[in-house]
Structure 1
Amino acid sequence: MEVNCEGCAGCCLDWRSVLEAESERRTHTRRETSKNAANATRAPLDDDTNFVPLTRDEVRSFLEAGMAAALTLRFWHARAASEGVEIDGHSVAAIAGRPVFFIGLRKPPKPVAPFGREEPTWIPACVFLDPTTLQCRIHGGEHFPEECGAYPRHTLALEQETECERVEAAGGGDRLLADDVDGDLDGLLLGSQALGAKLFAHPRPDALEGIVDRAATEDLTADDRAECLAVAAASSPGTLVTSDHHYEQALDRALEQAQEPDTSWVEPAIREWQRRRDTGEEVPSPAIAKRVEDDRGAPETPGWDALE
């Protein structure tokens, strides 16, 4: 497998609106296909096209590093009423009466110019994506998600269309340079392997009242996220069991970080990006990330020249 990532970051942002005019037919076809597939399976409540699920150990690691603000959650609509739990007017997919969810990375709006575009645009982008270099700030580090490192190998092994190919079809260029993979799916965690390790089940559906509705409108609060982060951190791989001790420990840690958001660069940077986008000001240069993220302590990226 070989990919050309420079200037792309297609797997790290929701780029649908950026290339909509250039690829109206392709986008429409992909959305209809996605919608039909969702009707046959379970559609997520949110609209994130590139949600990266984290493992229990990765959730714990982010909490220990003081970066709970970087994380968010995903629920799904139940395929049938018998497979779900009714919360906030939604039939939420569940296992044994316990609503299931993923933990992933937040995507605040950032001024980016991917795919060779000259002018930046506000696009939902991974919290760790540097808008200037279009590189990941934690790539190769101890907190770099395993799922990110395996992309697009897992997708190719499952014989599904990669984001590289979608970007090529929508905007041209060569992104997926070689698609040969060994078919190794280690770490993908499919089926029952995912339970408690990547797919988490909340033991108290009543505790999710209000949270599910805010997840659907993408208006989650820090306390909402803390509740589900704690359950994920307390989960036991391969089972529905959660540890009360680990739950309380993780909840205290997440709530403490929510009460003191300025101890990490993550939450202040997200608030600044959202403020700038919501004020309707002219889209700034991606280089403003130096003030918004780097100066607050975000890890720097090497730039593409350093990788040649």
Structure 2
Amino acid sequence: MEVNCEGCAGCCIDWRPLGAPDDREREGRYRALDDTYHMVPLSRDEIRGFVDDGLGDALVPRLFASDGPRTTEVDGHRVAAIDGRPAFLVGLRKSPKPVAPFDGDRVWLDACTFLDPDTLRCRIHDSERYPDRCRTYPGHNLELDAATECERVERVHGEAGQRLRDDDVPEDLSPPPLGPRALGSTVFLHPEPDALDGAVSRLIAGEATAADRATFVASAAASAPGTAEVNPERFERERERVLAADSWVSAADAEWRAAADRRGSRVDDAPDATAVEEAGGAPSTGEWTPAE
């Protein structure tokens, strides 16, 4: 598998305002309740790693609407569940940023918190925190013969083969995040659904509080792979750690949101990304490796 990511970042940004051809995350049997585009599911161990690094505030949960029998009602919303406990994923937070993907003008788009808006490179690409799902993308899509974000970008902003250079499935591909072994590893169950009053509605509205996010992140971090178990002592410990997290991510998110205009609109004026992110502690990015 070989991809050409320079000047793209299609899998790191919400490019629906620039013509993304579908909204597949809100279709089918399980439909994302939030409006985040292309959320990357993290594993339990990856979640623990972010929390250990004081980056618990970079994580967000995702719940799903479902019409199947495995559901429960929370906040008036019918959500996917197992034995009455809401099922969810955990991914990376997104913020509005001034970006210029696909050789276009600079516009305001929601982007991964770790995407440098100037270089369109990932700030954690060469670190231990770089998610396995990002490292191997679009491996699972290729394995399932499903359309990739690379190909979607090519259809709208390029030509075939420009972004997806080689479609061989990686040999070291990890299990799919929604596969039969996902419970407790990438799919988690909240242990106290009665405590989620108001939280689900705020998540759907994009108004989740730090406490809302922390209760889900802690549940994931305290989960046991292959089971529905959540260790109560670890849950409380992790929840406090996530609530205490106050990294550059939160400060940058607040500054970007204060400056941002309508999504998809051209950027007339924006704060300097280095001042907003790197001055607060964000790691810098390296250089692109030229595509052949």
Partner of 2:80: 93
User: Separation in 2 of the partners of 1:302 and 1:93?
Assistant: 40
| TM-score, scaled to structure 1 | 0.88
Q: CA deviation at 1:182?
A: 5.3
Q: CA deviation at 1:191?
A: 3.0
1:133 aligns with 2:116: no
Report if the CA contact (8 A) 2:95-2:110 is conserved.
yes
Q: CA deviation at 1:10?
A: 0.3
User: Separation in 1 of the partners of 2:179 and 2:262?
Assistant: 44
Q: What SS is found at the alignment partner of 1:115?
A: helix
User: Separation in 2 of the partners of 1:158 and 1:185?
Assistant: 12
1:3 aligns with 2:37: no
Q: CA deviation at 1:304?
A: 2.1
1:240 aligns with 2:228: yes
Partner of 2:39: 51
Partner of 1:191: 179
Cα deviation per residue 1:186-239 (whole Å; 9 max; x = unaligned)?
A: 332443310001000012111111111011111111110011111011100000
The 5 A counterparts of 1:101-120 are: 101-117=88-104, 119-120=105-106
Q: CA deviation at 1:132?
A: 0.7
For this pair of structures, how many residues does the alignment match?
289
1:290 aligns with 2:274: yes
Q: Which has the higher strand share?
A: 2
Counterpart residue type for residue 269 of structure 1: A
Q: CA deviation at 1:295?
A: 1.2
Percent identical among aligned pairs is: 47
Q: Which has the higher helix share?
A: 1
**5+ residue gaps in structure 1?**
21-26
Q: CA 1:191/1:304 → structure 2, altered by over 3 Å: closer, same or farther?
A: closer
Cα deviation per residue 1:160-205 (whole Å; 9 max; x = unaligned)?
A: 0000000000111411111122576433244331000100001211
Q: CA 1:132/1:287 → structure 2, altered by over 3 Å: closer, same or farther?
A: farther
Q: CA deviation at 1:283?
A: 2.1
Aligned pair partner of 2:133 in 135, 138, 147: 147
Partner of 1:24: none
Report if the CA contact (8 A) 2:136-2:170 is conserved.
no
| TM-score, scaled to structure 2 | 0.92
Counterpart residue type for residue 234 of structure 2: H
Q: CA 1:47/1:123 → structure 2, altered by over 3 Å: closer, same or farther?
A: same
Over aligned residues, Cα RMSD in angstroms?
A: 2.3
Partner of 1:23: none
